[in-house]
A and B are shown apart, each in its own frame.
Chain A
Amino acid sequence: MSLDTTLLLVQMAFRNLFAARLKTLIVGSIVFAGALLVVLGTSLLESVNDGMNRSIVDSLAGNIQVYAAASKDKLEIFGNMAGFPDLAPVPDFPKVRDRLLSLPNVKAVVPMGINGAVVGSGNVLDNALERLRASVRSARRRPTPAIHAEITARKALVRRMAELLEKDLEAAASISSDKAEDAIMLANVHRATQPAFWSDFDADPYAKLEYLENKVAPNAAEADMLFVSYIGCDLEAFRKSFDRLEITDGTFVPAGKRGFLFAKFTYEEMFKVKIARRLDRIKEARETGGRRIATDPELKRFITDNLSQTHEILYQLDPLSAATVERALQRDLKEPGLRLEALLAKLLAVDDANFAERYRIFYADVVPAIDLYKVRIGDDLTIKAVTRSGYPQSVVVKVYGAFQFRGLEKSALAGSMSLIDLVSFNELSGFPTAASRAEIAGMQRAAGAKAVTREAAEAELFGGNGGVSPSGETPRVASTQLIVPDRLGGAAARRMASAFTPADLDRASVLNAAIILKDPRKMARTMREIRALSDREKLGLKVISWQTAAGLLGQFVLLMRIVLYVAVGIIFLVALIVLSNAFVMATLERVRDIGTLRAVGARREFIFAMIVVEAAVVGIIFGGAGAVAGGALVQVLGHYGIPATSDVMFFFFSGPRLRPFVRPVSVVLAAVLVLVINALSAGYPAWLAARVTPRQAMGAEE
């Protein structure tokens, strides 16, 4: 078809469409909406995908994860409903690492293991005892009346805590099955509540303190356990590879030391005093979310909760510090007559007008007197995990600090995993460590045991002949001495040497490894290379992308994509039907014109093209306008950002605001879809039109 003919067709299409303006407008607006939705939807989706990509790739997963093919479960770094996956250690990790690093696109390989465990959230009783001990110590050195007053106040706090603990334990005992043990626990705690216990405290304070620390406080520890997910890794390698990591509190774990680093988000969310945390969240919601207490039910609920939980703070205050806080609050709230409880209630009954001021007063007057976090930086943390073979294991590690990833401060996803050194992780998972190997070797020596091969076992056991023992009795093997670690773990958790050697680290079992790429765009290719490498050198690796490694979370984007595409599909199905119908109608209305064209010598192709061009004009104009409008909308959204108004949105936006931008893929997709829809919708009417006979031009009047 010549250019002139095409131009004529386009002109005819425009004129025909203009002649049926209303219909064109209706049909066009559907195409417009479809194109807009495609551009907007895919842009948002890709932005969320990018955000999640950043959250996951830059914080934990790297671009690719490898783990042992022999593993029972699939690797899911964020765990799943059933907990964390059961993975076999990667065989000979140092070799695997060296081989992986030989690939051109591999920047770093970070050995890790991922698990979750219960941690004793440290307990306020322990902390109170620590302070009491400090006072007692300084009273020994330089007794002053002030110190004695402090001791009295701190004793009073400990006693009150013991009383509260006793009540808790009584309540717990009523639903417990282990009556005998409960009775012992209760008796221990009960003693610490009696006047007799305290009346002669000063006679031998250290003995009393020891009793309180060993017999009373551990019972309280059980009361407040928190579940923490952590990555066991070569901390140094992790820090180098995930370079957005920054320390917010404390310090990084020194090289070669065992240690624990809290993810800042987890630390704030789970370990901070709840009242303080809620105040922080109100502040954040007001400042970045633009929300108001007066109109926001969630913020109102925070305030109600704070008001009903002031004991969380009161419980921590001994009489002396209580008096200090009371004075400060009386001054700052200008309520000289009110007592502490009433002052706290007033302080926490915030509204939009006074929030900023109250927030400041809380942090200035109350916080210095309390432990703001249940576990303080520098504390020892008791982690209780279930090992791979199913027995509970405890490890005590020092908390060196808290960290976050730059740019992902608000991402719950990136902030969900704390860090622990790989050696402690091995210990927690029940893998043999250097220490336990030495212990076993020592036991073997002591017992005179030696390594025996399977083939030689019978001979070794029964003597050279390997026959049935002459007496005909079944030889009795000495009852197996199972080495069962302390059942409860907690109280007697082994405090391992606080340092380890590079050799220990190399020997440590590695469950999975994050691979960071020089060029993430070549991920698929590098994955193929790693698989080939693993096959060739029998490394026994399974290779998965970060999306797969993220498990359900990684699938989330896929799910959203499906939802979006279904929505787009429905819109376009509707568009298809409406468009097709409109063009069929247009064809029927123009039968005489078409017949005339055929009579004067237009071929069927010409007629077919006439309808298709008309549909294409609708598609290009309205689809183009829709795509441009969608793009503009995305630009506007990108400029202002879509605020994340809930935790869930924070999570998917990987930050306080989602700033979407238009990607070529969105535009291409919109264009392709519009064209396909046009082709499909115009196809039938065009076919119909091409079948109009010239005789139909002679038309109606006959």
Chain B
Amino acid sequence: MNPIVSVHGLTKEYRLGNVTVPALRNVELDLQPGEFLAVAGPSGSGKTTLLNMIGCVDAPTAGTVEVDGQETTKLAERALTDLRLHKIGFIFQSFNLIGVLSVFQNVELPLLLQRVGPAAERRRRVCDLLDRVGIGVHAGQRPNELSGGQRQRVAIARALVTGPKLVLADEPTANLDSVNGQMILDLMKNLNKQEGTTFFFSTHDARVMANAEAVLRLADGAIVDRVAPADAGLPPAK
């Protein structure tokens, strides 16, 4: 099976004044369909940058990123937007729900952007997903009326409503307590199993890593190794 994501020689440098700061160095990575993979590493190790590159949110300095067979570095801005809309779901550390929209509308938004119609069809899909993340009763409420865990569940519903092949989650549990964090991870895992959606999430929390099939360890912008969750706490094998 072809990998859903294929990264080659990925390098990203940021310029801070006259100083060039390397964020990623020559990263090689394949994500297989249906994988549930964590990327771990200390702050500043390049986790978010890697997710941004894969999510077509930022452009690499060198190297290539292929998403579902499409070479993203060669795509125009508009095509990247459409790629994100149709193939990728995003879950953010701070939930990033639109405050002025209801829970229902937040989840419906990607369907509207995809011009899914009619309204009844959208309603069916949104409500179905909201029920599955256990938040159906809150559909009419605004995000600020919900707890953090509830909000992140809304965000998960939003990421999955279009049926993307890949969901990228940047520290999805960082703003949650351990109980809610675990609940979110369980939810993600369930959806991974049921839908076969590839999940790729960053974390620096060992308990979170424990849920992953495998953990990529990142240090100073380079992938150190790929280990089983149980081994994530061990020093890297040189």
Q: Is the CB of A697 within 8 A of B92?
A: yes
Chain A, range 674-702, C-beta contacts under 8 Å to B: 693-695, 697-699, 701-702
Q: Answer whether residue B21 sits at the interface, using C-beta atoms and an 8 A cutoff.
A: no
Whether B117 pairs with A695 at a CB distance below 8 angstroms is no
Of A4-12, A96-104, A265-273, A425-433, the stretch lying at the interface with chain B is A4-12
What is the CA–CA distance of A5 and B111 in the complex, to the nearest angstrom?
10
* A601 and B110 contact, CB distance less than 8 A: yes
Does A382 have its Cβ within 8 Å of any Cβ on chain B? no
B119 touches A698 (CB 8 A): no
Which of A230-238, A591-599, A662-670 lies at the interface with chain B? A591-599
Contacts of A518 in B (CB 8 A): none
A601–B117 Cα gap in the complex (Å)? 17
A196 at the interface (CB under 8 A from B): no
- Asked if B100 contacts A15 (CB within 8 A), the reply is yes
Interface contact B100-A599, CB-CB below 8 Å? no
Contact indicator A698/B48 (Cβ below 8 Å): yes
Given contacts A16-B100, A601-B86, A694-B57, contact A8 B112 (CB under 8 A): yes
Query: A residues within 8 A CB of B110?
Result: 600-601
- A601 contacts B85, CB within 8 Å? yes
State whether the Cβ of B96 lies closer than 8 Å to any Cβ in chain A. yes
In this complex, what residue of A is CB-closest to B105? A8
Residue B141 is within 8 A (CB to CB) of chain A in the complex:
no
What's the Cα separation between A695 and B77 when bound, in Å?
13
Q: Is the CB of A12 within 8 A of B85?
A: no
Closest to B175 in A: A701
Q: A599-B90, A695-B58, A701-B94 are in contact. Are A593 and B99 (CB under 8 A)?
A: yes
Is B52 a contact of A695 with CB atoms below 8 Å?
Answer: yes
Are A603 and B78 neighbours in the complex by a CB distance under 8 Å?
A: yes
Which interface residue of A2, A596, A606 has the most chain B CB atoms within 10 A?
A596
B101 interfacial by beta-carbon distance below 8 Å: yes
- A600 contacts B94, C-beta separation under 8 Å: no
Closest approach, in angstroms, between the C-beta of B12 and any C-beta of chain A?
12
For A496, the chain B residues whose CB sits under 8 A away are none
Residue B70 lies at the interface, judged by CB distance under 8 Å to chain A: no
Known: A4-B112, A8-B105, A695-B57. A600 touches B84 (CB 8 A): yes
A341 to B55, CA, bound (A): 106
For A2, list chain B residues within 8 Å (CB).
Answer: 112, 115, 117
Determine whether A175 belongs to the interface, using a CB cutoff of 8 Å to chain B: no
Min distance, Cβ B234 to any Cβ of chain A, angstroms: 27
Determine the chain A residues whose CB is within 8 A of the CB of B98 once the complex forms. 12, 593, 596-597
**Which residues on B sit within 8 Å (CB–CB) of A600?**
84-85, 89-90, 109-110, 113, 158-159
B190 at interface (Cβ–Cβ under 8 A)? no
Determine if A4 and B119 form an interchain contact, defined as CB atoms under 8 angstroms apart.
yes
A606 near B52 with CB under 8 A, answer no
Total A residues in contact with B, Cβ cutoff 8 Å: 29
Q: Check A596/B92 contact, CB under 8 A, given A16-B100, A693-B57, A698-B52.
A: yes
In the complex, what distance in Å separates the CA atom of A604 from the CA atom of B85? 13
- A285-B173 Cα distance, complex, nearest whole Å: 83
A606 touches B113 (CB 8 A): yes
Check B84–A4 contact: CB distance below 8 A: no
> Which residues from 59 to 78 on chain B have a C-beta closer than 8 Å to any C-beta of chain A?
77-78
Given A599-B90, A600-B90, residue A697 in contact with residue B82 (CB < 8 A): no
Query: Which residues of A sit under 8 angstroms from B94, Cβ to Cβ?
Result: 699, 701
Provide the bound-state CA to CA distance between A702 and B49, in Å. 11
The residue of chain B having its C-beta at the shortest distance from the C-beta of A599 within the complex is B90
Q: Are A599 and B117 in contact (CB under 8 A)?
A: no
B114: CB under 8 A from chain A?
yes
| Complex Cα spacing A93 to B93, Å | 92
The answer, yes or no, to whether A574 is at the interface (CB within 8 Å) is no
Residues in B134-156 with C-beta less than 8 Å from chain A: none
A601 touches B114 (CB 8 A): yes
- How many angstroms from the CA of A668 to the CA of B84 in the assembled complex? 43
Asked if B35 CB lies within 8 Å of chain A CBs, one says no
Q: Which residues of B contact A702 (CB under 8 A)?
A: 48, 93
Task: Establish whether residues A4 and B117, one from each chain, have CB atoms under 8 Å apart when the complex forms.
Answer: yes
- Distance in angstroms from B10 CB to nearest chain A CB is 16
Chain B contacts for A15, CB-based, 8 A = 100-101
Residue pairs across A and B with Cβ atoms less than 8 A apart, 19 shown, are A2-B112, A4-B117, A11-B105, A15-B101, A16-B100, A19-B99, A593-B96, A599-B55, A600-B84, A600-B113, A601-B82, A601-B85, A601-B86, A601-B114, A604-B77, A693-B58, A694-B84, A697-B92, A699-B94
* The 5 nearest A-B residue pairs measured at CB: A601-B85, A15-B100, A596-B96, A694-B57, A601-B84
**B interface with A by C-beta (< 8 Å):** 48, 52, 55, 57-58, 77-78, 81-82, 84-86, 89-90, 92-94, 96-101, 105, 109-110, 112-115, 117, 119, 158-159, 170
